[in-house]
Amino acid sequence: MTLPVQIIEAVGANTCILVSGRRASIEAASIAGEKRPAESKMARLMAGKKSHFGDAIKGYESAKGINALRMFMLGQLNVSNIGPSAYHIDAVRRYPLIICTSQDDLFERAAKAEGIELLVLERGEPLPTPDPEKRVLYKMWGSLEKPDTLGWTPEQRAALPAVPEFRKRLRKLLTKQTLFFVGYRADDAEFAWVFEELSEGFGGKLPRCHLAVAQGRISDFYWQKWVWRGLLLFTANPTEVTTGLVEVTGAR
């Protein structure tokens, strides 16, 4: 695995925004000898058959109600007995701003273990301006510890408090910052949703963005789909990204 030069340079200049997905949590569970289901497995559990993740969530909520959906998702996403991985520890050391769609507390616990002061912001709060001397975690889709902040589909998130001046702040951020997506697969609904939300917030094609595709090769279909949208892709799990950065830039 070779890291893109643009990512290496942006990380070195403190101009890289990490956008982190739930496959980083799945990897942390695997390292700890446990399993946490990916989207396809959760969709089968909810729908009783192969189904699109978003459709499975909507069907489960329609059949059993939002409280039952919340309890199901809390059970599937729980990582309370799993420790942060090397990726989570390196991330809170290295990136001034982390935007995450995972809803657990692995980044918070990584910062606490390292003695790093981490400001945690929730959806509905303004996007911060990255400061190389500070560490900020922006929980874009809420926290498991705060059920009222959670949204699992675009429709559910639309019902949550809006982010003030999201488009204006995001456009300003991305004039100088590089977006680095880690902990997603190119075929994840989670990735498609966050990419769309950020694109809509930016008001057009996202500039300077890269995706480290986790857990497997990239199909030709998804390669073409995302390259057409301006995304640069390479294959790497979260811990492989960390190893690569440590090799070329050193540990923070």
Residue 126: per-residue pLDDT: 86
Span(s) in the chain for CATH 3.40.50: 5-33+84-249
Measured from the Cβ of residue 201, the count of other Cβ atoms closer than 10 Å reads 19
CATH 3.30.110 for domain 5-33+84-249: no
Residue 1: per-residue pLDDT: 66
Q: How many helices (DSSP H) and strands (DSSP E) are in the chain?
A: 12, 7
Residue 2: per-residue pLDDT: 82
Q: Are strands 119-122 and 136-139 parallel, antiparallel or unpaired?
A: parallel
Measured from the Cβ of residue 7, the count of other Cβ atoms closer than 10 Å reads 23
Residue 186: per-residue pLDDT: 94
Q: State the distance between the two ends of the chain, measured CA to CA, in whole angstroms.
A: 21
Within 13 Å and on the Cβ side, how many CA atoms surround 231?
Answer: 25
The whole-number average pLDDT for the span 30-51 is: 93
Rounded to two decimals, what is the model's pTM?
0.94
Q: Which residue has the higher pLDDT, 167 or 191?
A: 191
Residue 162: per-residue pLDDT: 73
The whole-number average pLDDT for the span 3-27 is: 95
Q: Which residue has the higher pLDDT, 146 or 240?
A: 240
Residue 175: per-residue pLDDT: 84
Q: Which residue has the tokens 């499975």?
A: 56
Instruction: Band the pLDDT of 92: cuts 50, 70, 90.
Output: very high
Tokens, residue 38: 């990916």
Nearest to 118 by CA among 101, 95, 141: 95
Contact predicate 73/45, CB 8 Å: no
The whole-number average pLDDT for the span 9-23 is: 96
Does the structure show a pLDDT above 70 at 60? yes
Mean pLDDT across the chain, nearest whole number? 91
Does the structure show a pLDDT above 90 at 217? no
67 exposure class (CB count in 10 Å sphere: 0-12, 13-18, 19+): exposed
Does the structure show a pLDDT above 80 at 17? yes
The whole-number average pLDDT for the span 147-164 is: 84
Tokens, residue 13: 């200049």
Residue 149: per-residue pLDDT: 85
